[in-house]
Structure 1
Amino acid sequence: MRVLIALSILLASATAVPIEEPVNGENGWLVPQEDGSFEWMSIQDAEELLDSSVPIERRSNEVSFYLYTQKNPTEGQEISADATSVQNSYFNKDHGTRFVIHGWKGRYTDSMNVDITKAWLSRGDYNVIVVNWDRSQSVDYAMSVRAVPGAGTKVGEMIEYLHEHHGMSLETLKVIGHSLGAHVAGYAGKQVGGKRVHTIVGLDPALPLFSYDTPDKRLSSEDAFYVESIQTNGGVKGFVKPIGKATFYVSGGKKQPGCGVDLAGTCSHARSVLYYSEAVTQDGFGSIQCQDYQAALDNKCGSTFSNVRLAEERNANHVEGYFYVPVNSEAPFGKTE
């Protein structure tokens, strides 16, 4: 009888132990699905999936590069790591170079690439090289994540080739990636190594299936001389914690004004591209420096604008830390006072 009572108490106490509440990015991830919904995946299940020894099909993991300049602002020239290919293109080593990398389900012709390309070419004659990585077009988000390291390595190899064989300057190079493309940019920087890539800009770097505690498997502040992260949908599709040398929390970094309910984060996540494109052309996003990233999330950084602006050209030389960026609910989004 005493044994039965003891077992009853043990079972009762066991059932009273609270189940750990799922926290996106901390003890697992809400992984986006093709239909816009999310499915929970534990850290263990994610590790088993991402560490799978099953190879990704070569044909669907190709990476291609399309060059845009002021001579061909709307029709990209496909180039490859081949002397004839580059020599027969409009690539000019005397002009600064910008690599632009799309995210999940993206293509090089998507509006984000068009907007960023147009923004840079409005400022001068740059080599804007838009990356197309085929595996991102998978409807399975996790399979696209698995392709990130390989895609990033290939982008890094292209950077090395243009630098070593065609005189492309690493000191004026910027690599800009949105969502999963931000982590592709990080792997490109890791491939080149030694912080030789001058600047990487992460536009709301993707959170699902990426851990803050493993910087070797995501975009990190060590991947370039200067890494700037522009965060707009933290905790849903993008990172909350800072992963750049300078991290800009636009409107607190989680939800953007003018996006309505936006439960799936689609609008807020995409705003990072619109903000960046506007910042390149107008340089109108003032910021308020914060003591830590939590203050930026909570908009508790005061009301005095700093002399730092989001995506400003000179940021690489002197900017570090956390910044709150107030914005308007519609374009022009930037505020300076």
Structure 2
Amino acid sequence: MVDVFFNTWDNNRINNSRPIDTNDPTYVIVHGYQSTGGNPGNNFTPQAWMSEMAQNIRDLEGNDANILVVDWQDGANTLNYFAAADRVDEVGVEVADYLLGQGVNPANTTLIGHSLGAHIMGEAGEELRERRGEVDRLIGLDPAGPEFEGGWFSRPNSTDYRLDPSDADRVVAFHTSSTLGYDDPLADLDLYINWDDLLQPGASTFVGNHGYAHTLYNDLLDGFGFAQSNGTTLSLSTINGNTAGSVFVDTFTV
């Protein structure tokens, strides 16, 4: 069984003595392959983007929110990507078990996952729907493609084994890497970010493209908006609103 740690974000730091208030909204953030959300082995130090995201949510919600930073480094820190991918369902069930054990209301919960973490949250959302009720929102940050979207020798995974629109009341996917990410639509709103460009802003490799998904979501949480040539603006309200379908956006636009 993969060791999973559920770290409570307070204000600018993890504080695992902070209790969960089931009357408040809950946000859960999980990482992907070869990453960490903080555990005893690294003195509970999450990836920088996770700390930034947790604090951005704290700044938006004030003190009245439960913010959990989830660590499954025990299963993700391997050279064998496919072994890590095969642990997605197990970790997703552990996330659901924990939330149910804490008495968290799925209808007041947002699940956020990057790469393999997006599919983990898909599994968690499915488990919660079947056992307690539908999750309010699920944000998939460049959901992982390899072993999930199929290829020359395999068919795409069924929706039981990956993120899909039934995993929450509203599912949003950021697509930022055609190499490491899932290319086809798999959410209520699929945002294809700078899809015709070789590299994302600030990226020098396809790995950087993959990470741009959480960079962009942090920018949106921080209040940034990106004007589009059609007169619309990509902002946090786009994510939280009613926009649906596949939408191509340009974040290079000034």
Aligned to 2:247: 323
1:223-244: CA deviations, max 9, x gaps?
111100011002x100111111
Residue identity over aligned pairs, in percent, reads: 22
User: Cα–Cα, structure 1 residues 154 and 213, in superposed 2: closer, same or farther, change >3 Å?
Assistant: closer
Does structure 2 conserve the Cα–Cα contact (< 8 Å) formed by 1:254 and 1:268? no
2:166 to 197, 210, 222: 222
Task: Report if the CA contact (8 A) 2:32-2:116 is conserved.
Answer: yes
- Supply the distance in 2 between the matched residues of 1:204 and 1:229 (Cα, whole angstroms): 7
In the alignment, residue 315 of structure 1 is paired with which amino acid?
Answer: N
Equivalent residue number for residue 94 of structure 1: 23
Q: Distance in 2 between matches of 1:139 and 1:314?
A: 34
Q: Is the 8 A contact 1:197 1:223 kept in 2?
A: yes
Shift of the 275–207 alpha-carbon distance from structure 1 to 2, 3 Å rule, reads same
Secondary structure at the counterpart of residue 305 of structure 1: coil
Over alpha carbons, which structure has the higher Rg? 1
Match of 2:209 among 254, 264, 268: 268
The residue that corresponds to 2:10 in the other structure is 69
Matched, 1:210 2:135: no
Matching residue within 135, 140, 146 for 1:197: 135
TM-score by length of structure 2 reads 0.84
Question: Where in structure 1 do 4 or more consecutive aligned residues deviate above 4 Å?
Answer: none
Equivalent in the alignment of 1:290: none
CA spacing shift, 1:255–1:228, aligned 2, 3 Å? farther
TM-score (norm 1): 0.65
Question: 1:273–1:261: structure 2 CA closer, same or farther, 3 Å change rule?
Answer: closer
Deviation at 1:261, TM superposition (A): 5.2
Distance across 1 between alignment mates of 2:236 and 2:161? 24
Hey, what's the Cα distance between the residues in 1 that align with 2:58 and 2:136?
A: 19
Equivalent position SS for 1:69: coil
Cα 1:255/1:220, change in 2 over 3 Å: farther
Q: Give the corresponding residue for 1:180.
A: 116
Q: 1:7 corresponds to which residue?
A: none
Q: Which runs of 5+ in 1 are unaligned?
A: 1-57, 78-87, 288-302, 329-334
Following the alignment from structure 2 to structure 1, what is the Cα–Cα distance between the partners of residues 201 and 140? 22
The answer to whether the 8 Å contact 1:98/1:174 transfers is yes
- Structure 2 counterpart of 1:89, one-letter code: R
CA deviation after TM superposition for structure 1 residue 119, in Å? 1.2
> Deviations for 1:140-191, whole angstroms, at most 9, x for unmatched residues?
111101111000011011122223xxxx332331100000100100010111
Q: Distance in 2 between matches of 1:106 and 1:314?
A: 25
Distance 1:310 1:240 in 2: 22
Structure 2: distance between partners of 1:161 and 1:285: 40
Aligned 8 A contact 1:250 1:256 in 2:
no
Deviations 1:267-291 (A, max 9, x none): 110111110011012141356xxxx
Contact 2:7 2:68 in 1 (8 A): yes
Partner SS state of residue 71, structure 2: strand
Task: Classify 1:107/1:261 alpha carbon distance in 2 versus 1 (closer, same or farther; 3 Å).
Answer: closer
SS at match of 1:222: helix
Q: What is the match of residue 42 of structure 2?
A: none
Distance 1:64 1:160 in 2: 15
Residues 229 and 248 of structure 1 are in contact (CA less than 8 Å); yes or no, is this contact kept in structure 2?
yes
Return the letter of the residue paired with 2:219.
E
Of structures 1 and 2, the one with the larger relative CO (CA 8 A, separation 6+) is: 2
The equivalent residue for 1:306 is: 232
Q: Does the 8 Å contact 1:207/1:239 carry over to 2? A: yes
- Which residues of 2 match residues 10-159 of structure 1 at below 5 A? 58=1, 61-70=2-11, 73-77=12-16, 89-108=18-37, 109-123=46-60, 124-125=62-63, 126-133=65-72, 134-159=74-99
Q: Which amino acid aligns with 1:221?
A: P
Give the gaps of 5 or more residues in structure 2. 38-45, 150-155
Which residue identity does 1:170 align to in structure 2? P
Distance 1:213 1:142, change over 3 A: closer
